[in-house]
Amino acid sequence: MSTYNRADATLGSLAAALGILVVLLLAVVGVMRARQVEHIPSVDYGPDAAVVADQADYTAYAPEDLPEGWVPTSTRLTTGDTVTWVLGFATPEDRHAEFAISDGDPEAFVAETTEGGTADGTAEAGGHTWDRYTSADADRRALVRTDGDAVLVVAGGSDYAELAELAAALRPEDGAGG
């Protein structure tokens, strides 16, 4: 006599099919969660910092030892009669901030990097006094200071405290310029 029971075979097949569906469902959920994590591409700004230090007739600066969460996202360098460098960051608060330095026309450079901002007091950062600027729509704030022939600007959609973190991390770069 056979011990085969058709009800047991159906129940076993059903359990196997449900098991496979659960595994597939968990895989889909895992993929969806992995895609929700934002990946911000990072750039290496060391080569541009070295060029600025070598070619500029002013002391070049670059950020060092920024706290965790600061991601360099862009670097733009122009050389010629003037040397201008703009280094962009994603901040720990998911905002944008940038460091810019140039020996071009100071008034034009400040107007451009602050988006026509107006003076809004001063702030201390990194042992220096910086002039604060706010754009007309208050969406952009900036810290501005001069160092010899260069104008340094830290600006972006971040609040002044976050901009001060970036400003405090600026250190002179070794090179022939400054």
**49-98 per-position pLDDT tens digit:** 999 999 999 999 999 999 999 999 999 999 989 999 999 999 998 899 99
31 with 59, same domain?
no
Is the pLDDT at 178 greater than 60? The verdict is no
136: helix, coil or strand?
coil
Euclidean distance between the first and final Cα of the chain, in Å? 98
6 with 88, same domain?
no
124 with 143, same domain?
yes
Query: Is the CB of residue 74 less than 8 Å from the CB of residue 43?
Result: yes
Domain of residue 62, CATH code:
3.30.200.100
88 with 163, same domain?
yes
pLDDT at 176 (0 to 100): 43
152 with 85, same domain?
yes
**Structural domain boundaries enclosing 14:** 1-37
33 with 55, same domain?
no
27 with 104, same domain?
no
Q: What average pLDDT score do residues 113-122 get?
A: 92
pTM exceeds 0.85, yes or no: no
Specify if 133 maps to a domain: yes
71 with 97, same domain?
yes
Is the pLDDT at 124 greater than 50? The verdict is yes
pLDDT at 175 (0 to 100): 55
- DSSP H or E segment with residue 8: helix 6-36
120 with 62, same domain?
yes
Specify if 1 maps to a domain: yes
Q: How many independent structural domains does the chain possess? A: 2
Task: Quick: pLDDT tens for 130-163.
Answer: 999 999 888 899 999 999 999 999 999 989 999 9
For residue 19, what are its two tokens? 């098991």
Distance CA 102, CA 104 (A): 5
21 with 90, same domain?
no
Q: What average pLDDT score do residues 8-37 get?
A: 77
